[in-house]
Structure 1
């Protein structure tokens, strides 16, 4: 795979994580760059690991994973999106005034949900001549950058839309899950 194609693949793999990051950034009260970078690193590491896992699976059991990857991504993203909708629709008096950061578990679960497609790409990469470590590293780096920028951009969106920004983030997660499922059926 040539370097330009590898870079394009890396940034296209991070597009869904970028969309989710905008919603997550909007739901944070006032995210600092350090928080955005923390979330970017969590997403980037997970997004970088999943193609390697996919590549390993692709060398052994590609048909099974390809049959279920879209259902796993759909279920995780819709469940997280529904949770964000629930949080966004709760009355203001039920919300805490300061939610300084999303939990590691919630962030990692969201990152995993958006990286299932990277696992599927890893499976595909197992069938062509590519340096999987370089590809995974570039995908992880691109995702780290895109998520960090998305969180900071979400801060602007959040200030424009207030408490309803979390609803938009939840709808985004559900839409991405539905898009992944639709494209694989």
Structure 2
């Protein structure tokens, strides 16, 4: 997997966390540097670790996955991308219930959000095992991009609100599907 694809994958996976960061910023009356760093570290950490876990799990099924790697990558990335698009559409319809938590930056809330937004990264890790990608480099790129996007997301959340977050998730879903198609096409040629 080339560097450009790794960077695009990082941005795709960061979109969920970015959208949640925007929402957190929008729902907070006061944003501190601590809020920004804890949000970015939590989301970046989970997004960086989950592909590694998925990669390890994917390697346990190497014989089966290797034979069908391009199908597995297309299927997993396609499903994740479609799921992100569906979630974005649902969130767009239900923007009234976005700010439900009083202490949006609590450790418990950020941890739950971090896990929820990184489940797709776990599945991507399985896909990365299928194509034998460099997991160390890829997971570091994903973590750094997610960290930067989330730090930025918290700040702009107060200004732009939910609409940008929904569009980011929609765009990320489309990009994940396109990356899956690219991997499929490259392995069939």
TM-score by length of 2: 0.64
1:115 positional shift: 0.7
Residue 85 of structure 1, aligned match among 86, 90, 97: 97
CA contact (8 A) 2:23 2:99 kept: no
Residue 109 of structure 2, aligned match among 81, 84, 106: 106
CA contact (8 A) 2:54 2:123 kept: yes
Distance (whole Å) between structure 1 residues aligned to residue 153 and residue 37 of structure 2: 10
1:85 positional shift: 2.6
Question: Do structure 1's residue 149 and structure 2's residue 161 form an aligned pair?
Answer: no
What do residues 27-77 of structure 1 show as CA deviations (whole Å, max 9, x unaligned)? 1111123311211011000110000000011112589xx7xx97xx99xx9
Query: Given the superposition, is the C-alpha separation of residues 154 and 86 from structure 1 closer, same or farther in structure 2, using an over 3 Å criterion?
Result: closer
CA contact (8 A) 1:10 1:142 kept: yes
What do residues 134-174 of structure 1 show as CA deviations (whole Å, max 9, x unaligned)? 1001101110011111100112246xxxxxx7xx8xx96xx
Question: Which blocks of at least 5 consecutive residues in structure 2 are unaligned?
Answer: 65-75, 178-189
1:11 positional shift: 1.1
Residue aligning to 1:133: 136
SS for the counterpart of 1:126 is helix
Number of residue pairs matched by the alignment = 147
Distance (whole Å) between structure 1 residues aligned to residue 142 and residue 158 of structure 2: 24
Distance (whole Å) between structure 1 residues aligned to residue 43 and residue 121 of structure 2: 12
1:86 positional shift: 8.2
Residue aligning to 2:49: 49
Residue aligning to 2:187: none
TM-score by length of 1: 0.66
CA contact (8 A) 1:51 1:122 kept: yes
Residue aligning to 2:186: none
Q: CA RMSD in A?
A: 3.3
Query: Given the superposition, is the C-alpha separation of residues 132 and 86 from structure 1 closer, same or farther in structure 2, using an over 3 Å criterion?
Result: closer
SS for the counterpart of 2:20 is helix
Distance (whole Å) between structure 2 residues aligned to residue 54 and residue 86 of structure 1: 30
1:87 positional shift: 5.7
